[in-house]
Amino acid sequence: MEYTVLRKYNFGSDVSWSNLSAVDQEWIKLHATIKHLAKKEILFEQDSTPIAVYFVRRGKVKAIRSNTDGSNQVLFFYVEGDFFGYRPLLAEELQPVSIVAIEPTDLFQISKSRFRELLSASTSLSEQLLVSLSREFGILVNRIINFTQRDTRHRLALALLLLHEKFVSVAHTEAETPIVLTRSDLADYVGTSLETLVRLLGELKEQNVLKIEGKKIFILQMRKLLELADLH
């Protein structure tokens, strides 16, 4: 499968719910609280003090960094099974990003002290974290390269591939899975303006690479996108 190249750019599932040991899962179910977020609801703001770590049980959130001029950068999307919020906690830092739900979302919330308990009790978890952080570091490096050396067209192609993989992985349906995001969120993820994004999507639609139905973006020609993304 040629898609393995994507792994260099996307977050694998190293630290995801399904990779936890059964013991850790049980422990969390017992000690975590459930938190529900409505669409657009903010879980926490950047520069706030972290108080907990989270697993996504259902739904999707975005991790964004806002600028003084009102522009945003979407750093990550977290979907069902994803684990987040542990880095600033480990590093004893403030939240580098804000977390906002992009659809109704349920989270497991594990308080800071509980998380520390878990971490010291489960050596496998801390090892997983160490490996995972190392991996994610490489991924971020690739991302930087992408932003500095690739033009918007390349970045969009890659973004679509990555988002597709992520959305498919949690789709509870047999049908072709579309990417469903606002144009703004997609633009903020690709790192371009809303207008430029719309124009490029239009291009890809013309070339029958994509099918677009409102917010739903279907990938028709995966191979063409891979060419456009031009990974190496």
Partner DNA sequence: CGCCGTATTGAGCGCTCTCAACGAGGGTGG
Partner DNA sequence: CCACCCTCGTTGAGAGCGCTCAATACGGCG
Residue ranges in contact with a second copy by CB under 8 A: 65, 67-68, 71, 73, 75, 86-93, 96-97, 126, 129-131, 133-138, 140-145, 147-149, 191, 232
Q: Which CB sits closer to DNA, 90 or 180?
A: 180
Interaction pattern, residues 146-165, with DNA; x per rule: CB under 7 A? -----xxx------------
Distance CA 31, CA 116 (A): 12
State the angle between helix axes of 183-190 and 152-169 in degrees (0 to 180), rounded to the nearest 10.
Answer: 120
In whole angstroms, the minimum distance from the beta carbon of 9 to DNA comes to 18
Is 72 a residue that touches DNA (CB under 7 A)? no
- The b/e string for 79-117 (b: 16+ C-beta within 10 A; e otherwise) is bbbbbbbbebbeeeeebebbbbbbeebebbbbeeebbee
Q: Which of 191, 222, 224, 226 binds DNA (CB under 7 A)?
A: 191
In this structure, what token pair is assigned to residue 148?
Answer: 């500095």
User: Out of 192, 204, 209, 210, which residue is the one contacting DNA (CB under 7 A)?
Assistant: 192
Q: Rounded distance, CA 195 to CA 144, Å?
A: 23
Q: Does 174 interact with DNA (rule: CB under 7 A)?
A: no
| Nearer to DNA (CB atom), residue 20 or residue 210 | 210
Nearest-angstrom CA–CA distance, 209 and 139: 26
**Is the Cβ–Cβ distance between 125 and 117 less than 8 Å?**
no
How far is Cα 72 from Cα 157, in angstroms, rounded to an integer? Answer: 20
Quick one: which H or E segment has residue 105?
Answer: strand 105-111
d(CA 229, CA 158): 5
**Distance, C-alpha 103 to centroid of its chain:** 14
What string marks each residue from 107 to 146 as x (binds DNA by CB under 7 A) or -? Answer: ----------------------------------------
Least spacing, CB of residue 216 vs a second copy, in Å = 26
Q: Which stretch binds DNA (CB under 7 A): 2-10, 72-80, 114-122, 199-207?
A: 199-207
Please choose, from the candidates 195, 210, 206, the residue with its C-alpha nearest in 3D space to the C-alpha of residue 157. Answer: 210
Stretch that binds DNA, among 11-19, 76-84, 93-101, 183-191 (CB under 7 A): 183-191
Does 184 sit near DNA (CB under 7 A)? yes
Q: How far is the CB of 174 from a second copy (least distance, A)?
A: 34
